[in-house]
Amino acid sequence: MNATLSIDMPRRAARAVLRPAPEPLFRSAHDALVFAFNFSRQQYDRPLMNRVAAGPQSSSGLGLSGLDGAGQAAMTLAELGRLSPLDQALLIAGKAPQSEPCGCGVACCSGHKTNGEWLDAISVVTTAAIAGALSGCIVNRRLCAGLVQKHFGAKVSLIELAELCQVDRHTAGTHNGRIKRWLFGDGMGVFNQAINELERRLLASGVVGDKESC
């Protein structure tokens, strides 16, 4: 999924944003991603998955606001866009906001709604988990999706999921353990591999600094 992150800015300002930063602004890929997701969602209306799919851009920012912030967010999302579709989905599921403001105006509205890009990422991860972590199992996709969401911060209990999906609690617990190991097991699960690969790329591009020098 590669395309160009579109940022509308004057040419002169754009050239300023494209200058290499004198020193890294972030200590980790986590920090860079959280900033990029939050900044881009505040500034632009295009969906996050579309911006990631828009592909690499070699810009680098000098600060964390305005055009400089746009350049920094663009560079981080460009590196994210170079990862495999599964790695992108894992990092969006793990680091992007799960909800966003809702202005529908309906009386019953809480003022927030689930982030559609986060849900799309959860769907991609769920499909991969069924093929990987739960290979050979009889799978309830709804349960699997709920377990993936749970591991990425959704406030739901294993018992509630089992009852909602009408799955035996022991089976739900077994599937939960397998998905957890697949995602995070011994620091080498698929999520860990994805964040490590992004960190390697961000270190090389200067977005993230060596932790020993920060």
Tell me, yes or no, whether 104 and 165 share the same domain.
yes
* Residue span of the structural domain in which 31 resides: 11-84+197-208
Q: Is 151 helix (H, G, I), strand (E, B) or coil?
A: helix
Tell me, yes or no, whether 91 lies in a domain: no
Q: Please tell me what DSSP assigns to residue 21.
A: P
The H or E element spanning position 55 is none
Other CB atoms within a 10 A radius of the CB of residue 176 amount to 21
Q: Is residue 93 part of a domain?
A: no
pLDDT (tens, 9 = 90+) of the chain, 214 residues, equals 444 333 333 344 334 444 444 566 788 999 999 999 988 776 544 555 555 554 444 333 334 555 667 788 889 999 999 999 999 999 999 999 998 888 777 777 877 888 899 999 999 999 999 999 999 999 999 999 999 999 999 999 999 999 999 999 999 999 999 999 999 998 899 999 999 999 999 999 888 887 554 4
CA dist 194 to 39, 62, 102, 170, 214, Å?
22, 26, 31, 30, 22
Judge if 122 and 77 occupy the same domain: no
User: Are both 35 and 107 inside the same structural domain?
Assistant: no
The Cα 106–Cα 91 span in angstroms is 32
Burial 83-102 (b: 16+ CB within 10 A, else e): beebbbbbbbbbbbbbeeee
17: number of CA atoms within 13 Å, CB side? Answer: 23
Q: Is 90 a domain residue?
A: no
27 shares its domain with 67: yes
- Integer angstrom CA distances of residue 10 from 7, 40, 62, 153, 168: 10, 18, 16, 39, 59
Same domain, 66 and 112: no
How many domains are there within the chain? 2
